[in-house]
Amino acid sequence: MADDSDQLVGVPEPRPRDPSQTEAFVIALCNQKGGVGKTTTTINLGAALAEVGRRVLLIDFDPQGSLSVGLGINPHALEASVYDLLMVRGTDPYQLICHTRVPNLDLLPANIDLSAAEVQLVSEVAREYTLSRMIQPLKADYDIILVDCAPSLGLLAVNALTSADGVLIPLESEFFALRGVAMLTDTIAKVHDRLNNKLELIGILGTMYDPRTLHNREVLDRVQEAFGDKVFITKIRRTVKFPETTVAGEPITTYAPTSPAAQQYRDLAKEVLARCPAA
């Protein structure tokens, strides 16, 4: 049965940032099902990594712009966004970056314009590599780049996976969320084989977890049986704090720094760094 204690046995404390690292490690947070905690995890994992000295860039790659909203940016007020980076020749990526309230945590924002890129990219040469090409100049300035993907397996998601070194799958602790995991892992395998042979599954993160319910525990047990040590020890539990942080426009690590939810994301950051030696 899934362990409710969430003890990080054998997971080391985060090591200091390696100053010799010359290029960011890119992680795509991906799940074609919406409402599973991708954006919440992108924001709070990014903030927790920044706390331990990593220079982190978050890329909002969802036309809904939820990542931008969650960090206090109004997507409708943006003069330019990640869409311009993808589709407008000569766009300077450094002009698009927004600095957040959290030291070492930056954002490349998005808005509804990005929805047009899904269609426009179809006619581009080497369309799957567009994001990878566009963020290449930024990789020297960061240690970790987290890409918050849209809830689909379309061309935007394929771009994110092609640009990434690893994939993190947030998975709601609910039966129907399990159904899409096989499809997603199949897509990851195809991208690995055909477009990006460095791509690896970093781990699956149980989200919206309530250990009091038998259903939640059974779901994570099934995931554990199927994926073994690819499942993170850390589980993100349900709390009213997350909607509050969206309104506040800041991560849980600064909004409620002593809360269990903040500690869960700090524990996740430890696991991610332990699994990604280059991060």
pLDDT, tens digit (0-9, with 9 covering 90-100), for 41-56: 999 999 999 999 999 9
pLDDT higher than threshold 90 for residue 188:
yes
Q: Which segment, 5-19, 58-72, 230-244, is predicted with the most confidence on average?
A: 58-72
Where does the pLDDT of residue 7 fall: very low under 50, low under 70, confident under 90, or very high at 90 and above?
low
CA distance 143 to 85: 21
**What is the pLDDT averaged over residues 167-196?**
89
Say which residue, 148 or 214, is predicted with more confidence.
Answer: 148
Query: pLDDT tens, 99-121?
Result: 999 999 999 999 999 999 989 99
Spell 127-163 as b/e; 16+ CB within 10 A means b: bbbbbbebbeebbeebbbbbbbbbbbbebbbbbbbbb
**What is the pLDDT averaged over residues 57-62?**
97
**What is the pLDDT averaged over residues 56-71?**
96
CA distance 278 to 274: 10
Contact between 56 and 273 (Cβ < 8 Å): no
Contact between 134 and 106 (Cβ < 8 Å): no
Q: Give pLDDT, residue 34.
A: 86
**What is the pLDDT averaged over residues 123-147?**
95
Q: Give pLDDT, residue 14.
A: 86
Q: Give pLDDT, residue 1.
A: 47
Q: Give pLDDT, residue 131.
A: 96
